[in-house]
Amino acid sequence: MSSIFDAGAAAHPYVRRAWIAAIIVALLQTVIIGYTIASHASILRSGTEVLLKTAPIDPRDLLRGDYVVLNYEISSVPASTIVGGPPKEAGERVLSVRLQKQPDGFWGIAESSFGALEAKPDTVVLKSQPFQYYPVDPEQTIRVDYGIERYYIPEGEGSNLDTARSEGQLSIAARVSAGGQAQIRSLLVDGKAVYEEPLY
């Protein structure tokens, strides 16, 4: 009988440690989720708003369940816009892209760089996601993503977006932080918001 109690007493510290570890993991997950939400809301609240024109995409890839796949004109960056020219060696890179408002109201590429681009009036600098770069000629373009290539919508409500995309009426309003990160603020069809992102 005493051996059973002895075994229980010996196991007790391990159970306690397991509970403590579980609580720590839960707290860390809560902090990470909270930081992600707060960061997202901060960009939407205080970032610079830009209007981006979408570009054609394979119709089969437009809707994927409950999110829309988005492609932008600024996703194809002309190598000729790169300040100092493109790198000579391949490798994982991040491209900084300066956007400037165009006469039609949309924002387009003014210049780009694999280094830092300093702030200038009436422009924003958008940073690409890390990508595998291969040397290109000046007349070629570099394909980049900005982390805003999908937008989640209520399931079954995306049929009108296919038509809007085909007719060139689909665009987005995004907010860009001072650090170059972007968040989609709203999805527009013919200039009117059809889906808007809440702050929280």
Q: Range of 148's domain? A: 47-196
Q: What pLDDT, in 10s, does the model give residues 128-187?
A: 999 999 999 989 999 999 999 988 877 766 666 766 766 678 899 999 999 999 999 999
DSSP 8-state secondary structure symbol assigned to residue 130: P
pLDDT confidence of 69, banded at 50, 70, 90? confident
Assign 60 a pLDDT band (cuts: 50, 70, 90).
Answer: very low
Name the 3-class secondary structure at 70.
coil
Q: Residue 4's pLDDT band (boundaries 50, 70, 90)?
A: very low
Neighbouring-strand partners of residue 68: 63, 151
For residue 57, the model assigns a pLDDT of 66
Higher-confidence residue of 29 and 62: namely: 29
User: Which of 196, 192, 111 lies closest to 151, judged by CA?
Assistant: 196
| Counted domains in the chain | 1
Give the range among 87-91, 101-105, 133-137, 195-199 with minimum mean pLDDT. 195-199
Whether residue 169 lies inside any domain: the answer is: yes
12-52 pLDDT, tens digit per residue, is 667 777 788 888 887 777 666 665 555 555 667 778 899 99
Query: Is residue 141 included in any domain, yes or no?
Result: yes
Cα 24 vs. chain centroid, distance in angstroms? 29
Kindly state the average pLDDT of the residues 99-114.
Answer: 96
**Domain for residue 127, yes or no?**
yes
At 81-95, the pLDDT tens digits run 999 888 999 999 999
Handedness of CA 140, 145, 146, 149 (dihedral sign): positive
Q: Residue 136 in 3-state DSSP?
A: coil
- Cα–Cα distance list, 107 to 62, 83, 175 (Å): 22, 19, 12
18 assigned to some structural domain: no
- Residue 199 pLDDT greater than 90, yes or no: no
User: 23 lies in a domain?
Assistant: no
CB 74 within 8 A of CB 141: no
What local confidence, expressed as pLDDT, does residue 28 receive?
A: 78
Within-domain flag for 147? yes
Asked whether residue 8 is domain-assigned, the answer is: no
Distances (CA, A) of 14 to 3, 7, 17, 19: 18, 11, 5, 9
Note whether residue 12 is domain-resident.
no
Tell the residue number behind the tokens 């999110």, with chain if given: 67
**8 Å CB contact between 151 and 184:** yes
